[in-house]
Amino acid sequence: MNRFYPLLAIIFLFASCTNDYSEEFTKYYEDGRAKPNVVIAPIMDTSSNTDLPWSLSEEFLQKILSKVAVRSTLYVNKDEEINQIPSSENPFGSDISWVKEEYAPHEFVVFLEIAQHEIVKQKPHKASSPSNLQMAVRIRIIDIRGAAPKVVLQELVKDSYYINKNVLHTDYNEVIWGSDRYRRTPMHSAHERIIKEITARLNDYILLAKSRFHG
């Protein structure tokens, strides 16, 4: 049966995009006002996580897009070609002058980086110790409506999710993102919690910045 797992992983990975991202974005509120026009760039993953058979960046991105769409307060451009980060640029560097030229005429650009994603035992010397999934995601939101790009949020969102020792050794080569079994795992719950926090940050800070802009 093991030889079938890679094929099943691919099938469920494609299915997961549909399952996690079923909402559509609209450009206008019901009263006719335009929603903030946002680009969410592909998520960078600089964590040491290497154990999952799917892309953690893609899972986080699809979940964030889905939650932002459900809120229906932002318009996010889904064009992957437009959203790409130039290979020569650092979205978390001090020079952000290139962002406006690259992403205009959008209004806001969101950059995300998974900086940490690792399971840490509470008692390292005990084999059956419960653990925590330690996560950290760097957020940077840049407002490009004015003459020069402006950072409106830069934050490192951290979370630590308890994992009972009885489910610590879940085989994620079998229980993969997009499957019903995955949705019952602590890793799914942990991801949902930190992504909910990230989505709230994006929504609140972009709407606040939009309301304060006077030309």
Residue 76: C-alpha distances to residues 70, 143, 184 (Å)? 12, 14, 29
Q: What is the pLDDT along the chain (215 residues), one digit of tens a residue?
A: 444 444 444 444 444 444 454 457 899 999 999 999 999 999 999 997 668 899 999 999 999 999 999 999 999 998 887 889 999 999 999 999 999 999 999 999 999 999 999 988 887 777 667 889 999 999 999 999 999 999 999 999 999 999 887 776 789 999 999 999 999 999 999 999 999 999 999 999 999 999 986 55
Q: What are 133-171's pLDDT values in tens digits?
A: 999 999 999 999 999 999 999 999 999 999 887 776 789
**Residues forming a β-bridge with 132:** 120, 162
Total residue length of the chain: 215
Specify the pLDDT at position 143.
98
Q: What is the phi/psi pair of residue 208, to 5°?
A: -65, -45
Host H or E run for residue 45? strand 44-45
What is the third-level CATH fold of 2-212? Rossmann fold (3.40.50)
Q: Quote the pTM value.
A: 0.85
**Residues forming a β-bridge with 40:** 110
Domain boundaries, the chain: 2-212
Contact 96, 151 (CB under 8 A): yes
